[in-house]
Amino acid sequence: MHDTVTISEVAPRDGLQSVGPFLATEAKIALVAALHEAGLRRAEIGSFVSPKAIPQMADTPAVLAAAKRLPDFECTVLVPNRRGFEAALEHRPHRIGLFMSVTESHNKANVNRTREESFADLSAITREALEQGFKVRFNLSCCFHCPFEGVVPEATTLDWVGRAAALDPNIEIAICDTTGNAAPDQVGRIFRQAMASWGDRFAFHGHDTYGMGVANVAAAFAAGCQVFDSAAGGIGGCPFAPGATGNVATEDVAWLFKRMGIATGIDIAALLKAADAAAAVPGAVPGGRLRAVPAVRNI
């Protein structure tokens, strides 16, 4: 197993995207700065999406500009389509995040396209993005469970993982538990098979909807995964996945790895302050457990 892991903070995007009212740009920038101050070196800053579809992400260019001034900080912005890619070309995040679902019904609910349509578009954008010097994250949603189709056959997930992996050896592929319904045995099996077939290029994106978030992160790590998405304060959830709530909390994931002796570069005390700020965002529904533990406030 690895002795270091990378945590990619997603509170500014996945955490906030469903939250209303609009959080002032300065508050978003302050949250990103607090996360960087806590030692996080990678974050999903926002989304180049229509402000009509997701009003909270309307100021992504301004938040990204501020985030890019933080030293040693890799900034990802989600790109849902070609229009989003054009915004990426203008505002230059370090990495673009593409996404599609491995189930037809969730892909249609989320982006109103078939999987084949999405994959064709994202394949073209991937090629252009690599040519233009972007890093690419290819997110596959609903890899374990779909809000409309239930438990996803492992062959379906691995088929799409393989197709994404074949696009280019230099893209990172996130295997996402969008609804929080994954179980650790399932996570372990998928990651072991994906890594055995396509190497060490996968990330795990998990939710803690049913309290399985940390167990699933531990299972992905045990299978060899070393990149994990999480949101400070456990905020977040997909607006187009009914019942899906909080991302697994960054502070819970950081605590897990601290206890396992795996380096994350994170200062727990500073992270708890950032997590408190994320949890206090008006309209956000906080999750996670570590913030409620008195003992860790004195470490």
- Known catalytic residues are 238
> Rounded to the nearest whole angstrom, what is the least distance from the CB of residue 245 to a second copy in the complex?
8
* Closer Cβ to a second copy, 126 or 179, answer by number: 179
Please say which residue, 33 or 183, places its beta carbon nearer to a second copy: 183
Q: How far is the CB of 58 from a second copy (least distance, A)?
A: 30
DSSP states of the chain as a string?
A: --SB-EEEE-IIIIITTT--SPPPHHHHHHHHHHHHHTT--EEEEEE---TTT-GGGTTHHHHHHHHTTSTT-EEEEE--SHHHHHHHHHH--SEEEEEEESSHHHHHHHHSS-HHHHHHHHHHHHHHHHHTT-EEEEEEE-SSEETTTEEPPHHHHHHHHHHHHHH-TT-EEEEE-SSS---HHHHHHHHHHHHHHH-S-EEEE-B-TTS-HHHHHHHHHHTT--EEEEBGGG----TTSTT---BPBHHHHHHHHHHHT-B----HHHHHHHHHHHHTSTT-----SGGG-GGGGG-
| Distance in Å, CB of 56 to a second copy, minimum | 23
- State the minimum distance, in angstroms, from the CB of residue 166 to a second copy: 30
The site for a second copy (CB under 8 A) is made up of 1, 181-186, 188, 208-212, 214-215, 217-219, 222, 243, 245, 252, 255-256, 259-261, 288-290, 293-296
